[in-house]
Structure 1
Amino acid sequence: MQLSTKQIMEIIPHRQPFLLLDTIEELEPGVRAVGKKCVTYNEPFFAGHFPQELVMPGVLIMEALAQAGAVAILSQPENKGKLVLFGGIDGARFKGKVVPGDVLMLETEIIKVKGPVGVGSAKATVNGKLVAKAELTFVVTAPEKA
């Protein structure tokens, strides 16, 4: 199953400039999601990271992986309208830099769920080459009422 940016925004609450997925290329609700982010010179973070050598911050690669995982979790009917929050990042490793012009592929597979807490195995690649990986712990929660 593929999703457009508009369809992604119907599932997760992130919006520009913090929505870090352009499309979902593959989706198995509750199991895994593969997202795509086309990295451009116009990304707001490049203004300060680093003006002399543009590099996507590793923490934003982790966030993009988490957003892919959130799409997998929140696309399940029983989680519609809920939030997915970070519970932890374990074993994060960065193997290469991500620069303007790269197409970042973001794959997160849900490997464990117990109640509202789960773990995703996440990896980011550019042209098939691993650039980052981690185990992401998440918590599914209902949004607070204003």
Structure 2
Amino acid sequence: MNLLEINAHIRQRPPFQMIERVTALEPGKSADGIKCVSVNEPYFQGHMPGLPIMPGVLLIESAAQLCSLVIEADGSDDSKVYVLLKVRDFKFVRPVVPGDRLEIHAEMVRGGAGVYTFDVTISCDGGVRAKGELMFTAVAQDSIYA
């Protein structure tokens, strides 16, 4: 999937859309995606000026966006939103800096009854940068602002 195809399936948009390419997708099982880190991204202006490091929470968000494609690859159910429920044992092994091309792998380890758990790994140049477990739940869209 290229950027335009991804736009048809996830709700995030630039500058908050983190997944730029999907290189493999098995709905309900796993996905591999790409995030190219650019010095022009807005968060670098205020996150450690002079020493640009991608915030860990945005690494988690990048992986979460890829996971959402595994849960609902066709993006057809507008009545539901998949929200991050839990982050578990996430480790940040090495900093992510401008110029890095992140390779993100998301593998569903449990799913059903509206709760989905993934093991995710974020790598660059053959080395792991971050890894951990993400859990999601389905929420009725009309209940969010009720």
Is the 1:11–1:80 contact (alpha carbons within 8 Å) kept by the matching residues of 2? no
Partner of residue 31 from structure 1, selected from 12, 29, 47: 29
Q: After TM superposition, give the deviation of residue 76 of structure 1 in Å.
A: 5.2
Q: 1:73 matched to which residue of 2?
A: 71
Q: Which residue of 2 aligns with 1:18?
A: 16
The alignment-based identity, stated in percent, is 33
What number of residue pairs does the alignment pair up?
Answer: 143
The answer on 1:96 being equivalent to 2:101 is: no
TM-score (norm 1): 0.92
User: What residue number does 2:109 align with?
Assistant: 111
| 8 A Cα contact 1:39 1:103, kept in partner | yes
Where does structure 1 lack aligned partners over 5 or more consecutive residues? none
How much is the aligned-residue C-alpha RMSD, in angstroms? Answer: 1.6
Q: Residue 83 of structure 2 corresponds to which residue in structure 1?
A: 85
Deviation at 1:80, TM superposition (A): 3.3
Stretches of structure 2 lacking an aligned partner (at least 5 in a row): none
Q: Please, what TM-score do these two structures have when normalized by structure 2?
A: 0.92
For 1:136 and 1:143, how far apart are their aligned partners in 2?
21
The C-alpha deviation readout for 1:23-56, integer Å capped at 9, x for no partner, is: 1111001111111011111111100111110000
Aligned equivalents of 1:41, 1:6: Cα separation in 2:
22
Tell me the secondary structure at the aligned position of residue 142 of structure 2. Answer: coil
Structure 1: distance between partners of 2:84 and 2:120: 13
| Partner Cα distance (2:115, 2:45) in 1 | 36
CA distance in 1, matches of 2:99, 2:68: 25
Q: Which 4+ runs in 1 deviate beyond 3 A? A: none
